[in-house]
Structure 1
Amino acid sequence: MAQVYSRRSFMVGVLSTGLLSSAAGYVLTRREPVTLTLATGSEPTGGGRNLLITLWNELHPDITIVPREINSTTQDQFAKFTENRADIYNLDVIHIRRFADAGRIAPITPRNDISLLDPVRRACEMEDGSGRLWAIPFNSDVGMLYRRVTDKRAADREPELRDVLALDGFIGQLDTIGAQTDEAFVINVLEHALAQDPLILDQDGVLSTSLTQWQGALKPLAEAMRSGRIKTRTSEEDTIRAFQQEHLRYMRNWPVWFPGVDREERARPDTAEIRLSRLPIGILGGQNLAVAADSPHREAAEQVIHFLTDTPAQKLLATYGFAPTGLDAYIDAQLKETAPHLAMVRDAIEDARPRPMTAGYAEFAERFKEHTYAYLHRGEQLTQRFVNDIQEALK
């Protein structure tokens, strides 16, 4: 795979050709120029999203996209995004329901036959059976297990997350220092619980309310943390630094970081490569583009969204590490050759579980974090109050 990274510029050029053809289909006849504000968080790596926006702007001088980066967390994304005027929102998957319930986004009909993966589509669908979506998926995401390989000739059994807890050298986002890192902690805890008990969270994002079930699902993680066998960090970036500096064997992280981590590790004489494997059941993540209900330029905003989420755009984002949302990108011959790990990412997404898709998610996440952090880091036992609190938040 050494040539994967040297061929990125070639891949971007090839895929941009497809984008040029795609862009021709998104032309509106306008009497005056329009500027669309896109409210979004920061881009974690590579610049792929910015490249798409730049390409649109160069090809459509009458409809200009202006990104407005808004620093927000799980708890305050709704408040911070809605206090800024925008035409398009780039929403984390867990916020779609709250924006929809508040009447802040308008339904949109998918175009281009983008063949979304089932869990990705379900997270955005309206409940009226119309086939319309509250937002069009921009990129998907799911937790993955990284492992360091020092000798390609040696047997390398693909591990299970629950088995890794009994070994030394695992690190994940299992600590938090505040709102900026709380969500990573919540997701990691849910993934470890699912590795022990797949019934703890179902395919519709409904959580178990059995205290006994939660105690059993989290006990192995608590024991591994207290024994010192595994290491904890607060963010994806901190986790990567520790994985590299301490030459650890296993790491939980998102697939978007894989190209950069693998490229850096291959330069080390004591690492042959980094391999990905799926978790037994990962947590579904991703960003989604929605039209603001109060935008005076809804038709133009829809055209932009269709361009940014079309199959050529998905292929380009994949070269920057992002997980595509639709089947066509995963079966593309060029991507299968240059990014073979995407096949495993697709499998993981198709079996991923969503977090509770309710308007009260932020409050749930805060309460879930408080109880599970106290249990895992301070040894305070989970009690019926834990179940009562999460039930109350999700009403």
Structure 2
Amino acid sequence: MTELYSRRSFLAGVLTAGMLSASASYLLTRREEVTLTLVTGGDRTGGRRLLVQMWNDLNPYVKIEPIEVNSSTRDQYEKFISSHADTFNLDVIHIPKFAAEKRIVPITPRNDISLLAPVRRLNVREGSDDFWAVPFNTDVGVLYRRVTDKAEAGPDPTLAQVMTTSSRSFVGQLDTVGSQTDEAFVVNVLEQALAQDEAILDESGQLSFSLGQWRSALEPLAAAIRGRRVGAEAGEDDTNRTFQRNSLRYMRNWPVYFPAIDRAERTKPATDEIRLGRVPIGIIGGQSLAVSAESDHQDEAVEAIHFLTDAHAQLLLAKHGFAPTGLDAYIDPVVTETLPHLKVIRNGVESSRPRPMHRDYAAFAESFAGHTHRFLYDGEQLTQQFIQDIQGHLR
């Protein structure tokens, strides 16, 4: 364990030095002091804050001042629009609404970074080479597996197999207690449905509106919950705690938690390692940087965004547990040797599906969560009203 994490510390030093060297071209020549306000969600890893600090050290006359909104993804829209900002770090589900309301302006990517196709599709401006926002980090659901014998061979189990065979050895975000946890619940239910029927949600985020298809896709999950074969938590943090405290074998969560969980679990005598596997069709997430239409410093905001999202920035974010947006980080020899689990993450991102990318996504998600939670926990059958409601929000 010591050797593994000493190599990761070495990697951090190498990447930091590389960023400082490569970022010299971003230095601005102006001498009029400007403060760029960046409104963003919380940063539990410190990786984003480190990048911002690097920019500020290199650009003393154009500094970024982050305003962190430590709230749920669902709440961020209201908090973001009430804040004066030059740059927004948007969750991908908010991009269509910000664009439709003309709160952000298009941006032309300049970075020489090969974005993974699903990441690009979430950010591109339809019918243009411009983006509404530049990908900062991506994300995808993954299956954590506790391994007690490193010699254990064989293919990774699928999510459908785990849900069928596990006896309370799996935990995921399969419950909700309100708006703070609704989004995690929606994502997990969509992944469970995809594990049974890949046609329930396509590569462009189009949902099936077949009632029979939804009933069939969600019945195995309902049976597992009724039979108490799985652990259902509300939110990612509670899921992590249950997985660790009860030494469960499987967990569905995001890859950003992997470094901390891997480090902690390796101290347990009965745990040899924690492995990541594909879901196999996960829901893609992530955050992207966009320029506010109300900013008085749009040119400076664009320069900062290019710095924060370039190839070296992606390498540094990968070290902190974030899923990189582009091919560069996944094939970098130093990174792949030090962080071999990135191969699983790349495969997961490339086979992922997006949530419905619609300006009224929030209304859809609230309705979807309500109907499916009552189906899973109260025995209320899905009816044509479920289809009418979710279809109505996505017109």
Aligned-partner residue type, residue 383 of structure 1: T
**Structure 2 residue 308 is the aligned partner of structure 1 residue 294:** no
Segments ≥4 residues shifted beyond 3 Å: 71-76, 154-157
CA displacement, residues 17-57 of structure 1 (integer Å, 9 cap, x when unaligned): 1111232111222241000000001013x211111111111
Partner of 2:66: 67
**SS of the residue 2:217 aligns to:** helix
Tell me how far apart the structure 2 counterparts of residues 225 and 381 of structure 1 sit (CA, whole Å): 15
Residue-by-residue CA offset, 1:217-273 (whole Å, 9 max, x unaligned): 000000001101101111111111111111111000100111111111111001010
Structure 1 SS opposite 2:94: helix
Matched residue, 1:125: 124
Q: How does 1:131-280 map to 2 (within 5 A)?
A: 131-166=129-164, 167-168=166-167, 169-280=169-280
Give the match for residue 394 of structure 1: 394
Question: What's 2:49 paired with?
Answer: 50
Q: Secondary structure at the match of 1:199?
A: helix
Q: Does residue 329 of the first structure (1) align with residue 347 of the second (2)? A: no
In 1, Cα distance between equivalents of 2:339 and 2:287? 21
> Unmatched 5+ residue regions in structure 1?
none
Q: Aligned partners of 2:144, 2:349: CA distance in 1, in Å?
A: 16
**Match status 1:97 vs 2:90:** no
Matched pairs, number: 393
- Normalised to the residue count of structure 2, the TM-score between the two structures is 0.97
Tell me the secondary structure at the aligned position of residue 200 of structure 2.
Answer: coil
Query: C-alpha distance in 2, partners of 1:244/1:367?
Result: 32
Identical-pair percentage: 60
Q: CA RMSD in A?
A: 1.1
Which whole-Å CA distance do the structure 2 matches of 1:6 and 1:180 have between them?
37
Stretches of structure 2 lacking an aligned partner (at least 5 in a row): none
Question: What secondary structure, in the 3-state scheme, does the structure 2 residue paired with 1:4 have?
Answer: helix
Contact (CA 8 Å) 1:22, 1:307: kept in 2 or not? no
CA contact (8 A) 2:134 2:290 kept: yes
Letter in structure 1 aligned against 2:253: N
1:340-393 deviation digits (Å, cap 9, x = unpaired): 000110011011100000100000000000000001111111111100000111
Measure, in 2, the Cα distance between the counterparts of 1:79 and 1:237: 23
Q: Is the 8 A contact 2:41 2:76 kept in 1?
A: no
SS at match of 2:353: coil
Letter in 2 for 1:123: L
Rounded to whole Å, the distance in 1 between the matches of 2:246 and 2:383 is 36
Contact persistence 2:311–2:329 (CA under 8 A) = yes
Would you say the 8 A contact 1:236–1:253 is kept in 2?
yes
Cα distance, 1:112–1:155 mapped onto 2, change above 3 Å: closer
Contact map agreement 1:144 1:278 (CA 8 A) in 2 = yes
Stretch moving more, 35-44 or 9-18: 9-18
Distance in 2 of aligned mates of 1:227 and 1:333: 46
1:111 deviates by 1.1
Q: Report the residue type matching 1:160 in the other structure.
A: T
Secondary structure of the 1:228 match is coil
Q: Note the C-alpha offset of 1:2.
A: 5.5
Equivalent pair of 1:171/1:230 in contact (CA under 8 Å): yes
Question: Bigger CA drift: 9-18 or 216-225?
Answer: 9-18
User: Is 75-84 or 103-112 further displaced after alignment?
Assistant: 75-84
CA distance in 2, matches of 1:338, 1:7: 7
Identify the residue that residue 114 of structure 2 maps to in structure 1: 115
Q: Which residue of 1 aligns with 2:352?
A: 352
**Distance across 2 between alignment mates of 1:312 and 1:263:** 25
Aligned partner of 2:313 in structure 1 is 313
- Give, in whole Å, the separation in 2 of the partners of 1:295 and 1:50: 21
Residue deviations 1:124-177, cap 9 Å, x none? 00012x211000000000000011111123445410000101212010000111
Maintained 8 Å contact 1:139/1:288: yes
- Quote how far apart the aligned CAs of 1:70 are: 1.7
Q: Contact 2:283–2:355 at 8 Å: present in 1 too?
A: yes
Q: Which moved more, 1:186-195 or 1:76-85?
A: 76-85
Are 2:144 and 2:252, in contact at CA under 8 Å, matched by a contact in 1? yes
Change (3 A) 1:2 1:140: farther
Aligned to 1:371: 371
Residue 365 of structure 2 aligns to which amino acid in structure 1? A
Offset at residue 71 of structure 1 (A): 3.4
Give how far 1:73 is off. Answer: 3.3
1:209, 1:142 → 2: CA distance? 24
- Structure 1 Cα separation of the partners of residues 219 and 382 of structure 2: 10
Residue 275 of structure 2 aligns to a residue whose secondary structure is strand
